Structure formats: structure tokens, C-alpha cells
């Protein structure tokens, strides 16, 4: 399912797959100047192809299937560009957990071209910024004071993250992009003002400070989780359960404390 809307001169595409008549998790991708920034999930690749097959190119922020999945079909008719670190995993995608297959779909091979520091598409110049943290390969794109940044920015109130995330790197990446001249960030969860990006950074810094204080007081990871997120929404608890804690509150704590799962 694709739900289009607009913000200024950017076309927003809210994308999701119905399970039992309901979309469980939405993701956003964008069209600007006939260039796609991300491409939705494998389940909606056919819809994305029909809607955007005549556009100029697709630029991928990172390899996760909910952002790169539409490229499965789009690669038939346009150039796909992705971070150099993404190329191999896009070409040979791993078998993902069952819940991700249900929600977004198993990714299939995508042959992409490597992004450089700057890329020119149809006469448009786009700056490519390395922004790791959410994933090892994550990049963001800056064009005309618009920042297309995938899952770099979520929002205050985030209570779960993926096991692979490195939030200390995310903090550095957000600090990096805040040195750039942009008015709005176009993210996987929607459009965020510059103030909202700054607020999300402040939220992560606050969480890190509180987690470190509790850790040095001798609190366990479980106790820190309960202290930081005392009333988690039911959707977050459901995500922890169905993902076998691939998404979890504990992941946020461990990531901010730079601890592995064994610590």
C-alpha cells in the first residue's frame, strides 16, 4: 500500500504492507526532482515500479529491506545508487527473520552503483554524507536545503532500536548533519523540522547521560531499562516479542553504554 502526500515540493510516499487488513509498520520514502530517495519494502515493489518507473534514478540510504526493497523492480528501468558499503549485501541479501518477511518481505538481489561524495542526476547535484549508526552503511543526501536521511532521525520518545544499531555513532552522525544547511529532514518516519532533529539529538544525549549514571551506580541492564522506559507502549512490547528482541529497549541501553550482548 502506498499513501502519497506532499510537503512543499517533495512528494512523500508512506509505504506499508497489510497483514490481516492492517498495516503494522509504515515507512516513508520520497520523490524530489524526479529522483527517488529510498524505495519502500519488497512487498510493495510492484506498486512502486508502476508509480515511479519513469523517474530518473533511485538513491538508497542503507540496505534495510524497508528502504531498499522497491529497487528490486526499479533496477529494471533506472539506475540504482547505494553506499559502497551496501553493495555486497544488496547483491547477496541474507535470509531475514520471519517477522520481517511478514511485515516487509524478503529482500531479493539488487545490483546498485556506488555513491560518491557528490552525485549528479539529471543535472541535479546531490551531496552524499556518511551517517552511520542505525546501520553500518547508512548515508544521507542533501539537495536544495533538504536532507533525505533514512533512519538517521526518529523522534523523542523512541523506546526500541535494532540490535545492530550503534547509537553513539548515530549521535555523531546527527551532530555532523546539523553542521549542514537544511530546513527539513525527510526521514523513514516522516518529515522533521531542523528543530525536531535537534530535539531528537538532545533526547539521545539525555538517555545516554541517565544510562551512564545508573550503570556506574551498579544498576543492571534490566534495572536501567525499567528506569528509562517505565511505561513502554504496547506496540513496543509487541515488537520486542515478535522480533525476539531484535528490536528492544535493552538494545538502546546497551548501545548507549557501548556494551555487547555479553556484558
Write down the pLDDT at residue 235: 87
Contact status, residue 184 vs residue 175, Cβ threshold 8 Å: no
Asked if residue 227 belongs to a domain, the reply is no
Asked if residue 158 belongs to a domain, the reply is yes
Distance CA 90, CA 237 (A): 30
**Residue 261 banded pLDDT, cuts 50, 70, 90:** low
Retrieve residue 208's grid coordinates: 545516554
| pLDDT tens track for 10-23 | 999 999 998 888 88
Count up the domains in the chain and report the number.
1
| Per-residue CA distances from 32 to 168, 190, 222 (Å) | 30, 15, 44
If you search the block for the grid coordinates 515478535, which residue do you land on?
242
Asked if residue 131 belongs to a domain, the reply is yes
Distance CA 24, CA 5 (A): 20
Domain extent for 114:
2-206
Contact status, residue 17 vs residue 40, Cβ threshold 8 Å: no
Q: Quick one: average pLDDT of 202-207?
A: 98
Domain containing 85 — which CATH number?
A: 3.60.15.10
113-114 vs 247-248, strand pairing mode: unpaired
Asked if residue 132 belongs to a domain, the reply is yes
Helix (H) or strand (E) holding 86: none
Contact status, residue 166 vs residue 185, Cβ threshold 8 Å: no
Asked if residue 228 belongs to a domain, the reply is no
**Residue 170 banded pLDDT, cuts 50, 70, 90:** very high
Asked if residue 245 belongs to a domain, the reply is no
Going by C-alpha positions, the residue among 131, 135, 85 that lies closest to residue 112 is: 85
Asked if residue 226 belongs to a domain, the reply is no
Retrieve residue 229's grid coordinates: 522506559
**Whole-prediction pTM:** 0.95
DSSP, collapsed to helix, strand or coil, labels residue 93 as coil
| pLDDT tens track for 128-167 | 999 999 999 999 999 999 999 999 999 998 999 999 999 9
Helix (H) or strand (E) holding 107: none
Retrieve residue 85's grid coordinates: 558499503
Retrieve residue 64's grid coordinates: 534495510
Q: Quick one: average pLDDT of 102-106?
A: 94
| pLDDT tens track for 39-49 | 999 999 999 99
Whether the per-residue pLDDT at 31 is higher than 70: the answer is yes
Distance CA 58, CA 128 (A): 13
Distance CA 210, CA 188 (A): 27
Amino acid at each position: 500500500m502506498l499513501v502519497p502526500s506532499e510537503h512543499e515540493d517533495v512528494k512523500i510516499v508512506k509505504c506499508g504492507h497489510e497483514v490481516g487488513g492492517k498495516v503494522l509498520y509504515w515507512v516513508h520514502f520520497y520523490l524530489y526532482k524526479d529522483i527517488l530517495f529510498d524505495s519502500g519494502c519488497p512487498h510493495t515493489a510492484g506498486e512502486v515500479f508502476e508509480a515511479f518507473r519513469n523517474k530518473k534514478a533511485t538513491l538508497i540510504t542503507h540496505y534495510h529491506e524497508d528502504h531498499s526493497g522497491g529497487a528490486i523492480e526499479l533496477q529494471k528501468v533506472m539506475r540504482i545508487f547505494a553506499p559502497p558499503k551496501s553493495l555486497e549485501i544488496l547483491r547477496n541479501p541474507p535470509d531475514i527473520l520471519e517477522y520481517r518477511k511478514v511485515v516487509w518481505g524478503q529482500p531479493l538481489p539488487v545490483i546498485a552503483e556506488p555513491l560518491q561524495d557528490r552525485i549528479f542526476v539529471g543535472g541535479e547535484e546531490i551531496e552524499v554524507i556518511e551517517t552511520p549508526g542505525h546501520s553500518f552503511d547508512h548515508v544521507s543526501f542533501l539537495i536544495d536545503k533538504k536532507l533525505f536521511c533514512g533512519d538517521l532521525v526518529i523522534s523523542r520518545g523512541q523506546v526500541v532500536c535494532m540490535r545492530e544499531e550503534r547509537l553513539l555513532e548515530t549521535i555523531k552522525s546527527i551532530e555532523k548533519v546539523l553542521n549542514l544547511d537544511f530546513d527539513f529532514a525527510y526521514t523513514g518516519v516522516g518529515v522533521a523540522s531542523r528543530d525536531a532533529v535537534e530535539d531528537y539529538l538532545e533526547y539521545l544525549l539525555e538517555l545516554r547521560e541517565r544510562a551512564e549514571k545508573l550503570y556506574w551506580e551498579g544498576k543492571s541492564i534490566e534495572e536501567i531499562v525499567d528506569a528509562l522506559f517505565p511505561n513502554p507502549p504496547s506496540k513496543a512490547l509487541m515488537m520486542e516479542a515478535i522480533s525476539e528482541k531484535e528490536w528492544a529497549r535493552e538494545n538502546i541501553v546497551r548501545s548507549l553504554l557501548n556494551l555487547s550482548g555479553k556484558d
